Each structure stands twice: as structure tokens, then as C-alpha cells.
């Protein structure tokens, strides 16, 4: 099982980006999904999560600006980021709890990270 994150890049303050995280492999079911970020010199922090039922949770610093969405048919997680600020600059990582075919429990996986730079 692999998680492949994409969509990062350079954007001006106030701009938007959409991140995507595609899961591939022998996937039976994906439960909880999330986006985290890590800026230089800082710890990795939660940005947004979505449970299998579809309920979303956001960190206070992104509420009203970021939207997490999942496409179960495509095994893909998205993060729409609007009104970006310089302090949003970080490497963004996706995370997922995944059941593989034939497994008796889920395992937790991380994507490789995608860089988001917010600068004029």
C-alpha cells in the first residue's frame, strides 16, 4: 500500500492550492484519513482529518479556509486550501488507516509529503 501526495507548489498569499493523496495497492477499506504539516524547525501538526463516516475535523488555524474531502471510489483524499497565508508554508503529509485484503486489522500509512510555499 502506498500513499502518493501531490499538488504542492508556490502560491502568493491569498491564493489557493488543492492537494491530493492517492492510495494504491491491495486496499480493502480506508477508514480515517488526514492531512498533517511540518514547517522547518517545528513539529508535525494536524491540519484536518476525516473519519470513514465523512465527519471532518479541522485545526483552528485552518477553519473556514481549508476543506478536506475524500473520494472513496478513487481512494483519494483532497485538501482544498484557500486564502493561504505565509504561515501555511510547510511540507504537507497525508495519513490513512487502511485495511488490506486478507488482513485482520488496519495499518497506518504516511504519504511522502508535498511542499507548499506561500510567498509573494
pLDDT tens by residue, 31-45: 999 999 999 999 999
Residue 25 is predicted with a pLDDT of 93
Rounded mean pLDDT, 47-76: 94
Q: What is the 3-state secondary structure (H, E, C) of 13-58?
A: CCCCEEEEEEEECCEEEEEEEEEEEECCCCCCEEEEEECCCCCEEE
**Residue 52 pLDDT:** 82
pLDDT of 90 above 90: yes
Compute the average pLDDT of residues 50-58: 90
**pLDDT for res 54:** 83
Tell me: pLDDT of 109 over 90. Answer: yes
User: Does the pLDDT value for residue 103 go beyond 90?
Assistant: no
Mean residue pLDDT across the chain: 95
Distance between CA atoms of residues 112 and 108, nearest Å: 13
Amino acid at each position: 500500500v502506498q500513499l502518493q501526495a501531490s499538488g504542492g507548489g508556490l502560491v502568493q498569499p491569498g491564493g489557493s492550492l488543492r492537494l491530493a493523496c492517492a492510495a494504491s495497492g491491495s486496499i480493502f477499506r480506508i477508514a480515517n484519513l488526514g492531512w498533517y504539516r511540518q514547517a522547518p524547525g517545528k513539529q508535525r501538526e494536524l491540519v484536518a482529518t476525516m473519519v470513514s463516516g465523512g465527519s471532518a475535523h479541522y485545526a483552528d488555524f485552518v477553519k473556514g479556509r481549508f476543506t478536506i474531502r475524500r473520494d472513496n471510489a478513487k481512494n483519494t483524499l483532497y485538501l482544498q486550501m484557500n486564502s493561504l497565508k505565509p504561515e501555511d508554508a510547510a511540507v504537507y503529509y497525508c495519513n490513512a488507516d487502511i485495511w488490506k485484503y486478507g488482513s485482520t486489522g488496519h495499518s497506518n500509512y504516511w504519504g511522502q509529503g508535498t511542499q507548499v510555499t506561500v510567498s509573494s
